[in-house]
Structure 1
Amino acid sequence: MTDDMGRDEWLAALRQRVPEIPATDARVRQLAGALLVDVREDSERASGLPEGALGLSRGFLELRIEQVAPDRQGDILLLCGSGQRSLLAAEALQRMGYRHVSSVGGGMGAWKAAGLPVTAPGLDADAAERYARQVRLPQVGEAGQARLGAARIAVIGAGGLGSPVLLYLAAAGVGHLTLIDDDRVERSNLHRQVVHADARVGVSKADSARMALLALNPRVAVRVVVDRLRAENVEALIDGHDVVIDGADNFPTRYLLAAATRRLGVPLVYAAIERFTGQASVFDPRREDSPCYRCLFPEPPSAADAPNCSEAGVLGVLPGLVGLVQATEAMKLVLGIGQPLVGRLLTYDALGMRFRELALHRDPHCPGCGPAARFDGYVDIERMCASAG
């Protein structure tokens, strides 16, 4: 708008260049396949947005429109609060080469006045601000954030792997975290178990982690279980969860988890670390093609062949990287996006800074999921691991 041109004249000139349509017509075209984009800010959309509309703030429109509307010949409708920002947004898209762009006259006010459907906001003002950068991802959006908020994830262990897993899942807004650990914080833990603090040495790891998680995101519900996973409690503790994350440091727990998650039909996100190396995979019993943990390790190795961190040592940053792989896989499973590490074993060598991916197939002779597999009870699994140790 120039200094010698009044606002009305400027708007009139803009409307000559940008088609403007009534809200009722916009709804008809939306139902016929047009993309309706609400260009208001996240805080404005917190009170609701047109049903089926994509929320994409005006300031990010040019940066992200190609991700959701790669076809420049498609029918695109833009809506704002009163109909002025959408005119400017439509003009910007025209300059980008979009040929069929229209502005909804009167914006959201006209939409509501016409009695057209409005979707109640999935996020309140705090959540809209807290998760704004994540919600802007087309693969997440408000619907995905709501799925994360409703998700229940059990994390076994609040140690090296569990620390980054817990911190990032809580930060991402996973609504219900169950943390199972019977250990206490030691000073020797702190170089890698970053969810804890020096002031909490001697406190149970589960309680220490809960303090850190609620300080980071008080919206998350954290249930702590200060107990060890055993034959008599494994199913009761993990039943009802959407994903289970294995952050354990011993084979009895891993074999119990493998059996229980398979019997309950819950995906298991596995990882292990030693010295300078780590590995991760996803075992999903809901998929017929998914191997299980015992396809990888049919029987537990001896303690000499698989020493724990206290015996072999570990580079402090290693569990951070591998744990983040676990957190990423868990979020992908909840959101239903991407390609999970099912049938793949990801290995990492910190000294060489190399990742390798190995194919992991179902073993037809697997004692855990093969045709001849039999379940004799969790107590027998504990005995098997004890005899190997």
Structure 2
Amino acid sequence: MTSLNRDSWLESLRASVSEISPADALARQAQGGLLIDVRDDGERASGTPAGAIGLSRGFLELRIEQLEADRQRPIIALCGSGQRSLLAAEALQRMGYRSVSSVAGGFQRWKAEGLPVALGSFDSDAAERYARQLQLPQVGEAGQLKLASAKVVLLGAGGLGAPAALYLAAAGVGQLTLIDDDRVERSNLHRQVIHADARVGMYKTESARITLAGLNPRVRVDVRNERLQSSNVEDLLAGHDLVIDGADNFPARYLVAAASQRLRLPMVYGAVERFSGQASVFDPRRGDSPCYRCLFPEPPSAAEAPNCSEAGVLGVLPGIVGLLQATEALKLILGIGEPLVGRLLIFDALDMQFREIRLPRDPGCPGCGEHAIFAGYQDIAELCASAG
């Protein structure tokens, strides 16, 4: 577009759209008008007019009705210099909004006139990194801040913990604590995608930390090269918002289940074997939630439930179940959707089928039932040892 054509185009827009000064925009906002900052997320990171709603120009027509369905409410569009807001205002007029105006001079003039500015919640890196997630109405800036302040502990940096940790870090969960005392083996690599061949022999937690730091350096990764035991389980889990169960043995899983009950910590459960997997959520904060022992009151024997090294597993299967766990964790942190509480999701990779089984709370459960007695973590460990 030549400068002459561009000027002509701007003049035609100005003829059809009302332009107002930043001061007038502020006054209309005070009277109930909706001020929309149509700049991109990265541009708004340095600040936005106080009280303005951020909605990028490219998504305006798609999302404006979710934001404001009342066609009579006054809407004021603002951009960086006042040109994109003219386009935005024209688009809103075409959609039937009756009282639309554009701020002449945009945010540059708004700041120059000393009008109130709210500092962006995110710097430019965060605004760009989480741009697609911030566009979701169920997340937005408020949800992203929830993720940034969340602390998730992952039991195991292996088959389930690897994919879960990758996507939780990518989503911007503020702190991930990895608990695992194993070292990377070459036989792990077909499913534990957080590790690399060059890191065989390294602690899994440290190998995972390297990958996560490369993926998202904003996330804090704490490593605990310890085996979960009756003497340390509560100390390792305390202070977190939820625990992701990626254990490969029943003693650790029963200890986590007991500690999560006592700490009122949601436990996101996952398990895999050969070509099948399952997932659920046990949330002691909810009165209707079962616990892990409602599903398995007593630990099965090693013969009844072999681990992956004994039974084998299709490499992609832990990835699928681990991502289901990460999804449930994000939902719990954000407070959106319906978590897998009271439901056991079963996946069969060979038939590519999901089945859901209702899992009600058991009034006689030894872990959370009416007459449940917590005897101690040592007793739970001994119970599992006797079953093995």
- TM-score, L = length of structure 2: 0.93
2:157 maps to which residue?
158
CA distance in 2: counterparts of 1:132 and 1:301, whole angstroms: 46
CA distance in 2: counterparts of 1:232 and 1:97, whole angstroms: 66
**Matching residue's letter, 2:262:** R
| Unaligned residue ranges in structure 2 (runs of 5+) | none
1:240 maps to which residue?
239
Choose 151-160 or 68-77, whichever is displaced more. 68-77
CA distance in 1: counterparts of 2:374 and 2:320, whole angstroms: 35
2:317 maps to which residue?
318
Q: CA deviation at 1:11?
A: 4.3
Does residue 365 (structure 1) correspond to residue 364 (structure 2)? The answer is: yes
CA distance in 1: counterparts of 2:387 and 2:220, whole angstroms: 38
Change (3 A) 1:266 1:78: same
CA distance in 2: counterparts of 1:229 and 1:295, whole angstroms: 22
Residues 174-253 of structure 1 mapped to structure 2, 5 A cutoff: 174-253=173-252
Change (3 A) 1:367 1:30: farther
Paired residues of 1:153 and 1:242 also in contact (CA < 8 A): yes
Change (3 A) 1:35 1:269: farther
SS of 2:101 mapped into structure 1: strand
CA distance in 2: counterparts of 1:310 and 1:243, whole angstroms: 28
CA distance in 2: counterparts of 1:288 and 1:51, whole angstroms: 41
SS of 1:266 mapped into structure 2: coil
CA distance in 1: counterparts of 2:44 and 2:191, whole angstroms: 41
Does residue 167 (structure 1) correspond to residue 184 (structure 2)? The answer is: no
SS of 1:146 mapped into structure 2: helix
Paired residues of 2:289 and 2:361 also in contact (CA < 8 A): yes
2:329 maps to which residue?
330
Paired residues of 2:43 and 2:124 also in contact (CA < 8 A): no
Q: CA deviation at 1:118?
A: 2.5
CA distance in 2: counterparts of 1:291 and 1:115, whole angstroms: 56
Q: CA deviation at 1:349?
A: 0.7
Q: CA deviation at 1:73?
A: 4.9
Choose 30-39 or 179-188, whichever is displaced more. 30-39
Change (3 A) 1:17 1:168: same
Q: CA deviation at 1:60?
A: 2.8
- Report Cα offsets for 1:324-376 as digits up to 9, x if no partner: 01111111111111111112111111111111122221111111111111111
Change (3 A) 1:27 1:260: farther
Change (3 A) 1:332 1:74: farther
Does residue 48 (structure 1) correspond to residue 50 (structure 2)? The answer is: no
- Report Cα offsets for 1:280-328 as digits up to 9, x if no partner: 1111111111111111111111111111111111110001011001111
CA distance in 2: counterparts of 1:258 and 1:288, whole angstroms: 16
CA distance in 2: counterparts of 1:91 and 1:357, whole angstroms: 49
1:256 maps to which residue?
255
Choose 367-376 or 115-124, whichever is displaced more. 115-124
Q: CA deviation at 1:114?
A: 5.7
Q: CA deviation at 1:199?
A: 0.9
Q: CA deviation at 1:26?
A: 3.8
Change (3 A) 1:188 1:64: same
CA distance in 2: counterparts of 1:371 and 1:28, whole angstroms: 60
Q: CA deviation at 1:45?
A: 0.8
CA distance in 1: counterparts of 2:287 and 2:30, whole angstroms: 37
SS of 2:272 mapped into structure 1: strand
Change (3 A) 1:358 1:36: farther
CA distance in 2: counterparts of 1:374 and 1:269, whole angstroms: 23
- Report Cα offsets for 1:91-125 as digits up to 9, x if no partner: 01222333343323442244445654432211111
Paired residues of 1:192 and 1:317 also in contact (CA < 8 A): yes
1:92 maps to which residue?
91
**Matching residue's letter, 1:40:** R
Percent identity, aligned pairs only, is: 71
CA distance in 2: counterparts of 1:91 and 1:137, whole angstroms: 24
Q: CA deviation at 1:12?
A: 4.8
**Matching residue's letter, 1:20:** E
2:290 maps to which residue?
291
**Matching residue's letter, 1:298:** P
Q: CA deviation at 1:83?
A: 2.5
Q: CA deviation at 1:72?
A: 4.5
| Unaligned residue ranges in structure 1 (runs of 5+) | none
Change (3 A) 1:299 1:37: same
CA distance in 2: counterparts of 1:310 and 1:347, whole angstroms: 21
Change (3 A) 1:55 1:385: same
Q: CA deviation at 1:196?
A: 0.7
**Matching residue's letter, 2:287:** E
**Matching residue's letter, 1:65:** I
SS of 2:88 mapped into structure 1: helix
SS of 2:364 mapped into structure 1: coil
CA distance in 1: counterparts of 2:29 and 2:144, whole angstroms: 24
